[in-house]
Amino acid sequence: MTIEFDSVEVGDELPEHVSPEITRHVLALFCGSSGDHNPMHVDIDFAKSSGMSDVFAHGMLSMAYLAQLLTHWVPQSQLREWNVRFLAITPVHVRVKCTGKIIEKFTSDGENLVRLDINAHTDAGSHTLAGEAVIALN
Amino acid sequence: MLDKSLIGHEFEPVTVEVEKGQLKFFAKATGETNAVYFDEDTARAAGHPSLPAPPTFAFSLSLLSPEPFSTLTLFNVDIGRVLHGEQRFSYSGQIYAEDRITLKQRIRDVYDKKGGALEFIVQETEATNQHAEVVGLSTTVTVVRNG
């Protein structure tokens, strides 16, 4: 289904996207596939030596789930810019719930655009990522 | 304290090939269900010449380069002390499998908060493909914990 500019309104919410459980196996796969070999995310000995009680998920893993929230709504070619702040670490064994809401409709350089408020929470209730995305709609 | 004289520092550009297998691996690791990101027939049917790199993959390209943590080396920071603070992407094109992407990175700002307990490195990376088209710009804020 194509999302059209005239058919959306400020306040509309995107279909929620929920990640699979972030197991240690997921972190190992993301370590290799993302190129982020920081041992903090896969080596509990290293994490403890750095003052953490356990490994925790890569922030960019949660941002990848937020990207899926957006690209499952519209094709990636319509994504113009986006940003997130990482608010809290994401521990192992949670799922990441990604949400988005239209907060502005505007036109720039002849393009119809919507601005989204985007957020990630763990299913344990922690608010982990907050940001905005600008998407072009026909 | 981080050396603020490094604000404006530009790294030597690095060129990285976007590997198809890496994109499929990334899709698997992130639980991707949209086949356009891991099935070439689906990607072509959607009008793509090859598998598209998903929106955050430009960040991975810099990590897949030969010197993935060059910024930490530049500032002499231990990797166990850093957190990812903010991340921003803007796009002017699409990165595809088998593209050769040149990354130009520079240090845009260095600042501190809480009396120096937290320091921040702001880094910009411009990505250009083999056709000399700028495809995107990413901005990364790295937090260094001094406490």
pTM reported for the whole predicted model: 0.95
Q: Whose CA is closest to A89, among A50, A45, A138, A33?
A: A50
Domains and CATH numbers, chain A: 12-22+58-136 (3.10.129.10)
Is B80 at the interface with chain A, CB within 8 A?
yes
Give residue B80's pLDDT.
84
The 8-class DSSP code of residue A57 comes to -
Cβ contact A26:A41 at 8 Å? no
CB-based contact A35 B60, cutoff 8 Å: yes
d(CA B102, CA B15): 4
For helices A59-71 and A24-34, angle between their N-to-C axes, nearest 10 degrees: 80
A–B CB contacts, 8 A cutoff, strictly below: 111
CA distance A108 to A102: 16
Q: Tell me what ipTM this predicted complex has.
A: 0.96
**So what's the pLDDT on residue B79?**
87
The number of domains in chain B is 1
In chain B, which stretches have pLDDT less than 50?
none
pLDDT at position B64 is 86
A31-78 tens-digit pLDDT: 999 999 989 999 999 999 989 999 999 999 999 999 999 999 999 999
- Is residue B117 within 8 angstroms of chain A, CB to CB? no
Q: Give the residue carrying structure tokens 């005239």.
A: A6
Residue B39 lies in a domain: no
Write down the pLDDT at residue A91: 97
Place of tokens 């408020």: A117
Give residue B53's pLDDT.
98
The enclosing domain of B140 has a CATH number of 3.10.129.10
- Quick: pLDDT tens for A75-134: 999 999 999 999 999 999 999 999 999 999 999 999 999 999 999 999 999 999 999 999
Q: Which domain holds residue B9?
A: 4-18+53-145
> Quick check: A60 and B28 CB within 8 A?
no
